[in-house]
Structure 1
């Protein structure tokens, strides 16, 4: 495997960890750990004698900065060695999306969509943030995939339509899951029965009543995604991975509900969701890969040399 491909996979893995830490910020209500300051933390570059919430939030900001510069390095490398082509386009998309990711993250703080805020604006904003995060992961995963010797995508035929709807379904599940997770954080319940009664009560806040839709959406979308993977990818490792992750994710959702969404289980649930999303994106790229007659995706440009 080429050095660039290894670096691209490492960038994807590190960003996945940063995303999980960001979920910890939300689940632990640490979003106000640095006050309403950004990019500073409570008015300083490095907080001193900080509380746990401040440490969690500051760590997320610091690792986000590292993630950003790793994507910048990946984009510059791709620009020099793989332009034009799918690798370069994937790296550029990753760069654009991590910039918007950082801006959306800053907006959460500056608009005060943190802590105990229960506004509809926070739910909408968080949903947009989630969609951007998934698109960013997709761009990074495709960059690493193409750099590992795979060709670009040819988006045509019935398979592309089936996979396109599977991707849309996964995005919808992600949005509903983000709203459900926010509701679990803001409105913790003492028992499963009390939680279900609150979900169906007309007196409950809208955010709480919305979370009941997530399990139904997840089951329907999961069955569709698994059916597509079975139809198009029978015998393919990525197809089997998608099916297995759908099963694990649905099981994790049941456990998360039964345990009343503890923080650790929320993180496991999110990790499985992200892995399923990445597997689905790469499975789609594998199925829709251009024929061998097309120009290979991985062919580094010769670096300029100084004549002697």
Structure 2
């Protein structure tokens, strides 16, 4: 996936009274419909930092689950074992408590992002919406984690409700990353989304995002099943038989759903990326859909390979974390592909499309 998302254009501000030029700020091109205004350098830096930091927090949260440390603070939340600061903590307590601290810092970053967005951007700027949405999603993320702890849906719990909560947690995590990504892009001078007049393309993009969320939720349940019910068969087929034995949990029954969905969703996203990859964006070279088509095709192939290895190796912890990291990157790639295809006015279609498909 490309590291850069938006191509920066820098322009000098007007000279001040003393004849000294102001510091350079991101220049945002304007169009007849009005583009976002300038927001300086600090806000984009904070937004990109928050995005990268939250990916690390997500991976650390996965380590908490894999290490069985989810109950490290008992069934207490937001306190840890009934106190604000653990005394003589065990290793599991240290791991769980550190995750809570890092998650709390995510909240502080989101609050700072909202404050800076309100202070540095004009009314109506999309970065305000993105920052506020990011804060709300982080709050909900914390509440979902709290529910897991308070209901005892941690450590070795095989309660079917744990699978549902885990899926919701992952879907919200993806939504949070998407909101932070768009906030960072808008803070960096990226254009607004234009949903009106996109026709079938808008529906296809929305379908891709929803399918990716569903795939992620199914993956969360499968990862939970791999943790609680370690595959013991010699082959994947033996694991499937184990998952559908009379004594199997519903979490085991659902473990097979993710790999099946993965093939279908990956095929759809691969096709969709190819469909929009020839469109020309009006917003600069770094927002060309073709760039994100190539990136997404590559990450889909890599993620499928990682999924196959995960099954063959019987889901070791390190492989689960790598698989989750690639899932986050793939999700961000899908968001960026859809964004790059939908910004600006719909471009004239010059290539042949499948019969019945119009963008």
Q: Deviations over 1:26-52 (max 9, x none)?
A: 112111001111112112222233222
Distance in 2, matches of 1:148 and 1:287, equals 18
- Whole-Å Cα distance in 2 between the matches of residues 43 and 200 of structure 1? 40
Q: Distance in 1 between matches of 2:192 and 2:105?
A: 29
Residue 192 of structure 1: how far off its partner (Å): 4.2
Whether 1:32 and 2:32 are equivalent positions in the alignment is no
Cα drift, residue 130 of structure 1 = 1.4
Write the mapping of 1:146-225 to structure 2, written as runs, cut at 5 A: 146-155=186-195, 156-193=198-235, 194-225=238-269
Pick one of 94, 109, 120 that aligns with 1:81.
120
Q: Following the alignment from structure 1 to structure 2, what is the Cα–Cα distance between the partners of residues 202 and 222?
A: 32
Structure-to-structure mapping, 1:130-145, within 5 angstroms:
130-145=170-185
**Secondary structure in structure 2 of the residue aligned to 1:256:** helix
| Mapped partners of 1:202, 1:228: distance in 2 | 40
State the TM-score, normalized to the length of structure 2. 0.78
Structure 2, unaligned runs of 5 or more:
1-7, 9-40, 279-288, 347-359
Extract unaligned runs of 5+ from structure 1: 293-308
Cross-structure match for 2:168: 128
3-state DSSP class of the match of 1:236?
helix
Kindly state the Cα deviation for residue 94 of structure 1 after the two structures are TM-superposed. Answer: 0.3
Residue 216 of structure 1 deviates from its aligned partner by 0.7
RMSD over aligned CA atoms reads 1.5
Within 5 Å, which residues of 2 pair with 1:62-81?
62-81=101-120
CA–CA separation in structure 2 for the residues paired with 1:33 and 1:117: 13
Query: How far apart are the structure 1 equivalents of 2:45 and 2:270?
Result: 29
Aligned length: 292
Higher relative contact order (CA 8 A, sep 6+): 1
Shift of 1:189: 2.4
Q: How does 1:1-308 map to 2 (within 5 A)?
A: 2-82=41-121, 83-155=123-195, 156-193=198-235, 194-234=238-278, 236-291=290-345
Tell me if the contact between 1:152 and 1:285 (Cα under 8 Å) persists in the aligned partners: no
Deviates more, 1:44-53 or 1:81-90: 44-53
Moved over 4 A (4+): none
What is the rounded CA distance, in whole Å, between the counterparts of 1:229 and 1:202 in structure 2? Answer: 42
Do the aligned residues in 2 keep the contact of 1:173 with 1:214 (CA within 8 Å)? yes
Structure ID, larger Rg: 2
Higher helix proportion (structure 1 or 2): 1
Report the Cα distance in structure 1 between the residues aligned to 2:188 and 2:202, rounded to whole angstroms.
22
